[in-house]
Structure 1
Amino acid sequence: MFTRRTPIIENAPNQIASLEKQLIGGVEQWLLIRGHDRNNPILLWIHGGPGGAQIGFGRQYSSDLEKDFVVVNWDQRGAGLSYAKTISKNSMTIDRMVDDLIEIVQGLCRRFHQQKIYLLGHSWGTILALFAVKRHPELFHGYFAISQVVNMRENERISYEFALRSAKDTSNTKAFSQLSELGPPPWNKLSHDHVHNKWLQKFGGGIFHDGNVMNLLIKPLMRGSEYRFFDIIKWTRGQLFSMNALQKELLELDLLNEVEEIKVPIAFCCGRYDYTAPSELAEGLYKAIQAPDKRWVWFENSAHSPIIEEQDLFVQSIRNTVSEWQSY
């Protein structure tokens, strides 16, 4: 019978390759911990969504980072392997999940005898990550904000206008008709989001700019050994559960009003074609936020997922930035 596992890292005597369940915030949650040398700095990767868990495919995009870091992937409360019917919808709040994140970081520091770690947030995960570094800067060397989310209402407005404009400019009558019928946000059904996201991906501003979701996400998910077949079903259910539970709070959030300063270095990494989390909003936060060091990195051939779309360039950018942050 196929069991969950993560392969060992060959020719690395001090390697770590562990897929494990931990009790975090009173809920069983899963971590994937991988690195060529367990003494390397820790990089905790906070996935998007809400509910976009990535233990099932993350290893296939982080193998080069594992040479320099102990890379930790976390399936968040209510997502992926950490989804369970017993999880209370009332416990699915931003505040509670930031507490989960901090608990994980403290546990990693104790376990690996390190005082600080690096934090990488993607999309929805950038919200949790930014609040974490604001609350406990002493735990972090620095923060990588990948496709930083700022204000979801403005996010959806800009995204919808882009999709509608693209439909008109390309004379795509089907897209224009469906998007016009949908109307501008806010939308009150996930099916409405589906219509918008379908055309957003078609016009190159979605999860991936040139690639398709099947080849870059679904196939790696099915090829991986960290999820069993029924875990893929759980992964899908966790996305629906997490989005439904967190959508209202997410739509009310504006990080420009929440975070004016952080006391750790921050790097904003954005895809030039990203209209899932439009970069113009992230640029506003970048200009406003105070930090010991802040930098902006464009990924010219990416939309929402430069970590996948321009993997080699992304890894090199992380390495270069960490090297320059050594003085902090």
Structure 2
Amino acid sequence: MTSRTREPKGRAHAWVTAAAVVVAVVVFLPVLLLPLTTSVPIWAWLPLLVLGVAGLVWLVVGRRRRWVRPAAVAVVALTAIGAVVASQTLSVTPPITGPDGERVPGSIASMESVDLGGSEQWITIRGHDESNPVLLNLGVGGPGGGGFFNSSEFRPLEEHFTVVNWDEPGTGKSYGAVPFDELDRERFVDDATALTNHLRERFGQDKIYVYGVSWSSIIGIWLVQEHPELFHAFISSGQMVNTTENDRMGYELALAHLDQQGETGRAEKLSENGPPPYRGDAVVWPYVDFLDVLNEIMGVPRYTLVVPLLGFLVPEYGYVDTINHTRGLINSFNAVYPQLEDLDFVEQAAALEVPVFFFVGRHDVNAMPSLVEEYVDVLEAPEKELIWLEGAHGLGSAENKDVFVDVMLEQVRPLSQ
């Protein structure tokens, strides 16, 4: 009886230990991924790694003692908490280095908070020489994308501009800066104006440049429309002109694509959603249903696959920032996008008092090129340029990056001289 009783108990003990090991390994993942997904230095990572590995070994070696399991898992959990804290407190923007790997003398690479409208919001400032003209990057699409994610697009320009990347309120490091029900045109323009004036004073410049893409290209048009005296020029890619018409065109294209591919299930889902604009408290989901299809047409991953991973590509983000980036995209979209239903720059911004440069992908199906062409045709501005980018990947391809840099250096930068 004794041996038969011990055998089931031994198996149960082994299963409990195995389960504890699995839990501990999962909990330990933030520590393992720390050097790959954050800017935490090795001197801060190694102690957490050693302590966590010791906890895992202790869990396996000391498995016959009941108190070991919870104690070992607790040790591993503490290292994970330490990893989260380190990722937030030790995050930095990478230094600007030359071919020799050494920091460029006189360069600036700073991540800092600024007070905009009574709220703490975050920017990075990067450049080889602080006397260069300032280029303010309003961020990527969304609403809620923020400017830290696409800051790498401007690395080739940091020798010639002081590039400032802004995490707008409601996303990333600025996630909790402003309540979502206060996010509207006035708030975004006021905060962007306050940031512009802060940069003008800090760097002693009368005017700066401003850049937007997709959603933030809307902020950019609003900004230069209301305060043209503050800017040398406005530059955008993926320019949004009429969001409702743009979305309806995208919806019809997505539906036709699914029908052509024989994906009846997804086509039925789009048909059930109906054409945009969508209204309610969770508009992001029906929009994502057809935006995912448009990404497939362009040969890029679905939003639902990549959005949770985007923050891990931003060295300035800690783990909490990465989670908040995803939350920000969802919450900001739900709060702000319905406010854009009547947007139409052909009617509402037919004249601008600054030079404008639109980079347009020939096969972009998120920001429809035909609508941008229509806008450029009617737009009155001191100078206007429509620069075509090949393919559907915008500034994501090497060829288009070269075009972007050439235009920025040869046509845009001289406007500040």
The two structures have a TM-score, normalised by structure 2, of 0.71
Choose from 300, 311, 318 the match for 2:401: 311
Gap change, CA 1:16 and 1:83, over 3 Å in 2:
same
1:7 aligns to 2:94 (yes or no): yes
- Aligned equivalents of 1:213 and 1:245: distance in 2? 19
| 2:108 is equivalent to residue 20 of structure 1 | no
Q: Look up the match of 1:151.
A: 242
Higher relative contact order (CA 8 A, sep 6+): 1
- 1:180 deviation in Å? 2.8
Q: Which moved more, 1:264-273 or 1:5-14?
A: 5-14
Find the counterpart in structure 1 of residue 197 from structure 2. 106
Aligned to 2:30: none
Q: Is the 8 A contact 2:362 2:392 kept in 1?
A: yes
Distance in 2 (CA, whole Å) between partners of 1:290 and 1:132 is 16
| 2:174 is the counterpart of 1:82 | yes
Q: Where does structure 1 lack aligned partners over 5 or more consecutive residues?
A: none
Q: Deviations over 1:195-227 (max 9, x none)?
A: 1111111111xxxx4567699887664143200
State the number of aligned residues: 319
Residue in structure 2 matching 1:238, options 323, 328, 351:
328
- Answer yes or no: is the 8 Å Cα contact 1:151–1:281 preserved in 2: yes
CA distance in 1 between partners of 2:247 and 2:403 (Å): 28
| Paired residues for 1:1-328 under 5 Å | 1-2=86-87, 3-10=90-97, 11-47=103-139, 48-55=141-148, 57-84=149-176, 87-188=178-279, 189-204=283-298, 209-210=299-300, 221-303=311-393, 306-309=394-397, 310-323=400-413, 325=415
* Bigger mean CA offset, 7-16 vs 157-166: 7-16
Distance 1:71 1:245 in 2: 29
Using the alignment, how far apart are the partners of 2:245 and 2:93 within structure 1? 40
Q: Report the alpha carbon displacement of residue 326 of structure 1 after superposing the two structures with TM.
A: 5.6
Cα-to-partner distance string for 1:137-186 (whole Å, 9 max, x where unaligned): 11111111211111111111011111122223344444433333332222
Distance in 2 (CA, whole Å) between partners of 1:5 and 1:169 is 47
Name the amino acid aligned to 1:92.
L
Measure the CA separation in 2 of the matches of 1:214 and 1:138.
Answer: 40
Q: Aligned partners of 2:108 and 2:302: how far apart in 1?
A: 32
CA contact (8 A) 1:19 1:33 kept: yes
For residues 192 and 219 of structure 1, the distance between their equivalents in structure 2, rounded to whole angstroms, comes to 21
Shift of 1:237: 1.2
Name the % identity. Answer: 35
* Deviation by residue 1:215-274 (Cα, 9 ceiling, x = unmatched): 988766414320001110011111122112112211122222221211111011111122
User: SS where residue 121 of structure 2 aligns?
Assistant: strand
Distance 1:211 1:185, change over 3 A: closer
How far apart, in 2, do the equivalents of 1:181 and 1:198 lie? Answer: 16
Deviation at 1:324, TM superposition (A): 5.8
SS of residue matched to 1:203? helix
User: What is the alpha-carbon root mean square deviation over aligned residues?
Assistant: 2.3
Q: Which moved more, 1:236-245 or 1:176-185?
A: 176-185
Query: Does the residue aligned with 1:184 lie in a helix, a strand or coil?
Result: coil
For structure 1, which segment, 58-67 or 98-107, has the greater mean C-alpha deviation from structure 2 after superposition?
58-67
Q: Please give the alpha-carbon distance, in whole angstroms, between the structure 2 residues aligned to 1:70 and 1:316.
A: 17
User: Does 273-282 or 170-179 show the bigger shift?
Assistant: 170-179
Q: CA deviation at 1:320?
A: 2.5
Indicate if the aligned counterparts of 1:23 and 1:29 stay in contact, CA closer than 8 A.
yes
User: Displacement, 1:120?
Assistant: 0.7
- Higher alpha-carbon Rg: 2
With 210-219 and 5-14 compared, the bigger mean Cα shift is at 210-219
CA distance in structure 1 between the aligned counterparts of 2:358 and 2:264, rounded to whole angstroms: 36
